[in-house]
Amino acid sequence: MDRELDVAFLIADLAGYTALTEAHGGVEAARIIERFVALADRALRSGVDVLERVGDALVLTATEPLELVRTAIAIGAAVAREPMFPGVRIGMHMGPVVLKGGHYYGSALNLTARIAAHARPGQILGSGTIAALCTGSDAVRCRALGPVHFKNVPGAVDVFEVQADERSTRTDPDVDPVCQMHVGSTEPAARIPYEGRTYVFCSVECASAFAAAPDAYLPERAR
């Protein structure tokens, strides 16, 4: 018999993974994924499970949303401490789904994916449902970002940025514009000044690609 139940979902994916693969090759991309999975596994809190991995994205579930939120914060902090590593985007939502044959069906999972895709690298976003469930927690704060209209989602969705009150993060990270890798600002492989700003690169290959067509790697210009 099919069962409908409320489940909290988390989707975490690596920003710029496709560009990273093109810039550094499949072997390095596979290493990054393996390390990401290991970091996520160690960050899991009680009652939180990995539902599946799809490409560079992990889908997690929990029946207790606060434990899922704590897992999200732990994953974000672990990735932020990794040198030469892409940023992670995390989205969360909780809603009713049907469990059938070991698979979940319903709009809650789709909305979680939309919220995750809306996040910036290093950002954790949650729906209003998640934010409401975090109310009263001394360890978590949620900052309202306003309503967002997502493709194939009826109506506007209230989105919140989720943060720990005290967390370990990079200080002003520099990001390679080609592969989206976080690069330590003290020892990049290369630096290129362009129109009043200096860009840093994780490798000579990425620097060469940028030098050949800089506007192609700057979102505000590639329109």
pLDDT digits (tens, 9 = 90+) for 104-158: 998 999 999 999 999 999 999 999 999 999 887 777 889 999 999 999 899 999 9
Confidence of residue 44 (pLDDT cuts 50, 70, 90): very high
pLDDT digits (tens, 9 = 90+) for 149-183: 999 899 999 999 998 865 433 334 577 888 877 77
Pairing, β 3-14 against β 57-62: antiparallel
The whole-number pLDDT of residue 221 equals 54
| Global confidence as pTM | 0.77
The structural domains of the chain, ordered by start, are 3-164 (3.30.70.1230), 174-217 (no CATH)
**Residue (of 58, 43, 78, 55) closest to 12 by Cα position:** 58
What is the number of other CB atoms lying within 10 angstroms of the CB of residue 113? 18
Average pLDDT over residues 62-90: 90
Q: 132 — phi, psi (to 5°)? A: -65, -35
CB of 60 within 8 A of CB of 10? yes
- Report how far residue 170's alpha carbon sits from residue 122's, in angstroms, rounded to the nearest whole number: 9
